[in-house]
Amino acid sequence: MKTLVLANQKGGVGKSAIVVQLAYYLHLLLNLRVLVIDLDHQRNTTNPIRNGKLATVSQIPSSSILLKKVSGVEDAAFVLLAGDNTELLKMEKQAANHNIFASNLQAFLKSVDGDFDVCLIDTNPNPDIRQLAALVVSDFVLSPIQLNQEAIDGIGDLLNHENIGIRKIQATINPTLQFIGILPNLVEPTPFQRDNLRELSAHFAKLLIPMNPGFAAIKKTTAVPESQAAGVPIWKLGKTSGRDAWTQIKPVFEKIATTMGVM
């Protein structure tokens, strides 16, 4: 099983929508067995998948696999461990248990390793134990960002934060963690965003995901929030906007799947 965590220290970048649509793509179009774990108390991944009824929603809330030893989930090819508000929020206040949380998550993933081909983990935007634990146990990390100055300035923390910086984790805890790259999301054809993309390309080209031509990016479209609200894959939205969006998103997902070695 390959494990991919989507992580960013800024909220509102459309990370959860990427998790949901990527899960649909991997399961429905690549016929892979997919496990989705929502560690974000806002549950922006949980709600669309639950509403869409295409996945089995586990009786095990996501907080449980950090709080205690859990082995196995329901026998299905597409399973969601839903986010739960109260317990997830409490975790940062339990500093003495942080190592236990990470160990429990690692043990759980090991227990289901033969049951799924891919595990996708959505994390909260705050740099706390939930994000750290996910980075410690994952094979790959993908970081969606928006093209604004705040997000670009935050790339340094994403890589070099003293506690959950990707480079720190690679050097000290999880040397096999592979950074797939930064994925500009919600991209609009405005002069402001074009300038920011140009700056991003100039200073962080090695961190972007190479495509032919250029770099991977996902355009802003009404089809994404509509698909999320309906809980459906974007290519099944039944609108021209959905088909157009999928034409642009599909090559990006293919690149991610190829990088992970599942395509």
- Does the domain at 2-257 match CATH 3.40.50.720? Answer given as no
Give the three-state DSSP class for 195: helix
Percent with pLDDT over 70 in the chain? 98
pLDDT at position 202 is 82
Distance of CA 42 to the CA centre of its chain: 14
pLDDT digits (tens, 9 = 90+) for 81-131: 999 988 898 888 888 888 899 999 999 999 999 999 999 999 988 778 888
Give the three-state DSSP class for 1: coil
On the question of a cis peptide bond just before residue 213, with omega within 30 degrees of 0, the verdict is: yes
pLDDT at position 234 is 96
pLDDT at position 68 is 93
Residues 6+ apart with CB under 8 A from 86: none
Give the three-state DSSP class for 65: helix
pLDDT digits (tens, 9 = 90+) for 157-210: 778 887 778 898 999 999 999 999 999 998 888 888 888 888 888 888 889 999
Query: For the chain, which residues make up each domain, given as ranges?
Result: 2-257
